Amino acid sequence: MARMKSDLSRLAARLGRAFEYARKAARRCVLYPHAWLIRRLRGHSVTVVGITGSAGKTTTKDLCQTILSEFGPCQSNPRSENEHFDIAQTITNVGRRHRFCVLELSGGRPGYLDFALRLSRPDIAVLTLIARDHFSAFKSLEAIAHEKGKIVSSLPERGIAVLNMDDPLVRQIGESCSRRVLWVGKSEGATLRLREARSRWPQPLTLTVDYEGRTYDISTALHGTHLALSALMSLGVAVAMNLPISSAIQALRSAAPPEGRMQVLTLENGITFVRDDWKAPLWSLQAPFDFMKDAQARRKVLIVGTLSDYSASASKVYPKVAREALEIGDLVVFVGPHAMRALKAPIVRAEQELLAFPSAGEASAYLRTALRAGDLVLLKGSNKADHLVRLLLDQERRVHCWKEKCGLATFCARCPVVYAGAPPEDHGVEFLRRADEVLRAGELENPSATEGPFVIVGLGNPGAEYCDTPHNVGYRVLDRLAARVGGAWETHKEGAVSFGPYGGTTLALFKPGLYMNRSGEALRLFLERVGGSPERCTIIHDDIDLPLGDVRIKRNGGDAGHLGVRSIIGCLGTGEFERIRVGVRTAGDAQKAKERVLKRFSPDEIYVINGSVAQAAEIAVARVVDLADSSKSLSA
């Protein structure tokens, strides 16, 4: 009987997969012609930017989207969804109001770019670099360059290529093309020439760039000097469109990295994670390792997952990587099926530790007690193989799904079962089908929708004279969030509002339109209009008691002397809401709080506060997903 049930379960799984394949094939038959038609109809009014390369595509795409959104509505494919279906879906979402469309294009095997280029027909082509990613499919770097170079050769007569002058193979492609080329890089002759890139944690990435005889010092909220290329590429796209470079630079200052690409998250327990866990070809380890080597931190922890795209045997590669990691880290942890091979590497210093775990669940059981406040932790692995982000999630809330090779490529924070455990085996196909729909459409069922939207409130003072003051940090965080989720600001009588879907729920970003000490009046009116509640609010505000660069979460409590929070508690009649506190106190500053919070930041302080703003934004969206999951569990 047991064997019969097992056979029936496998048969059901196969039938489910066949049904899913047929369903997707039917959708493509409708979607592709629709996308083809939309691209031709909107061609005269929308500038399409196509981005490809062996690395940096998603970061460049997101930075371009942030910059171009300053000049008009911009559509782009979400996250790293860059296959044919995703490109077609993004094109069909381009409406009459859109001015730009930024598309990340995959070229993971020979010939794959052909259809994507016929469908998208880019006006501007961006080629980041040529490396060994997908080497096994192409067999040589020259073959990879040939495939990626199709994005340049397919440009229309008036098309423009934005190319990396420092990559020899990309340079060959540019020099042989008949279209206009805008070069970026360190090399002499680059249109946008990088003079210097600096990124030493906790300081963010700063760039010195030459353009048309002027030198620009650019502060960003990114980390890692290797992201300088993506920043330059995105500025190059703006220049190619004849957009003001000063405005493009200003937009770049607040641009956040994509999830899992040198994304910095500081948890409430004081542990800072650097997530570079989307994929881990062997050649890509050097950049995050260099970042960790230069970083200033109490203790450095390197967690390495499954590696890919290497030609030597795993028994030689993993010990070599472990030796390199031990030259940097105080604690080095390998996770995955080949992890044990890393233990062959010798310890460099007596106080170091080198550990290996075959699964993420076992690694997390150790790290829950091993990590401590002040640690800087690098997560480097392949998300599809390892789902290393669960090590981070498990630090704040117990993860129950430790399934290996679940078949989903998306990050676990958006998975409907990460905190609820894996589904029964015989329902696996249905779960994968539903999860795939959820993650593509962003329509995770929200049983608590009747309770009103989740509201993130950024406190500040209206008026341009306050824009760079500590009191307006909350406004800065919301501007970053709006750029990330693609929301447009609307002005209402209560203040500025941006609505949009995120993490399977409705998200409202709200800037009170009254001065700080009257924030509560505006928020109360806004919540009454949208049917919101204090329990579903997160308030982001400056905190003069925290040092500059520090970000903390506080759940409930009093106002701690903050006039904006005091106003909110008084008007809502409760302090039962979450607060994200962004530190603004500088060492040795003897000014009174009232004087300090209304004085503009210095350029050096702006560098630090940009990093704080990025952390606060990431914490805010993570809490929205977490609260949405909690509401779903309670309603179930």
* 480 Cβ neighbours under 8 A, 6+ residues apart: 221, 254, 256, 613, 614, 617
Mean pLDDT over 567-577 rounds to 87
**CA dist., res. 540 & res. 475, Å (int):** 8
E strands, 166-227, in order? 180-185, 192-198, 206-211, 214-219
SS (H, E, C) 418-459: CCCCCCCHHHHHHHHHHHHHHHHHCCCCCCCHHHCCEEEEEC
78 versus 183: the higher-pLDDT residue is 183
Contact yes or no for 512/495 (Cβ under 8 A):
yes
Residue 443 pLDDT > 60: no
Distances from the Cα of 259 to the Cα of 59, 440, 493, 614, 619, angstroms: 9, 16, 34, 12, 12
Distances from the Cα of 467 to the Cα of 432, 461, 547, angstroms: 46, 8, 20
pLDDT of 536 reads: 86
pLDDT of 104 reads: 94
pLDDT of 84 reads: 86
**CA dist., res. 367 & res. 372, Å (int):** 9
Contact yes or no for 173/152 (Cβ under 8 A):
yes
Mean pLDDT over 180-204 rounds to 95
pLDDT of 433 reads: 43
Collapsing DSSP to helix, strand or coil, 97 comes out as: coil
632 beta partners: none
Per-residue pLDDT of 325-343, as tens digits, reads 999 999 999 999 999 999 9
Residue 367 pLDDT > 50: yes
pLDDT of 268 reads: 87
Tell me the residue type at 286.
Answer: Q
Residue 426 pLDDT > 50: no
Mean pLDDT over 537-552 rounds to 88
435 versus 153: the higher-pLDDT residue is 153
For the chain, give the percent of residues with pLDDT over 70.
85
pLDDT of 262 reads: 94
Tell me the residue type at 469.
Answer: T
pLDDT of 633 reads: 47
| Domains defined along the chain, listed by start | 16-253 (3.40.1190.10), 263-441 (3.90.190.20), 449-635 (3.40.50.1470)
pLDDT of 502 reads: 61
Mean pLDDT over 175-195 rounds to 94
pLDDT of 432 reads: 42
Contact yes or no for 209/218 (Cβ under 8 A):
yes
Residue 134 phi/psi, 5-degree rounding, is 65, 30
Least confident window among 299-303, 430-434, 562-566, 602-606: 430-434
Residue 48 pLDDT > 90: yes
**CA atoms within 13 Å, Cβ hemisphere of 364:** 20
pTM: 0.64
Residue 441 pLDDT > 50: no
Residue 466 pLDDT > 90: no
Mean pLDDT over 302-310 rounds to 93
pLDDT of 301 reads: 97
Mean pLDDT over 1-25 rounds to 60
Q: What does pLDDT average to over the chain? A: 84
**Mean pLDDT comparison of 79-83, 371-375, 608-612, highest-scoring range:** 371-375
**Mean pLDDT comparison of 8-22, 203-217, 473-487, highest-scoring range:** 203-217
**CA dist., res. 115 & res. 117, Å (int):** 5
- Catalytic machinery residues: 471
Other CB atoms within 10 A of residue 366 CB: 13
Residue 253 pLDDT > 50: yes
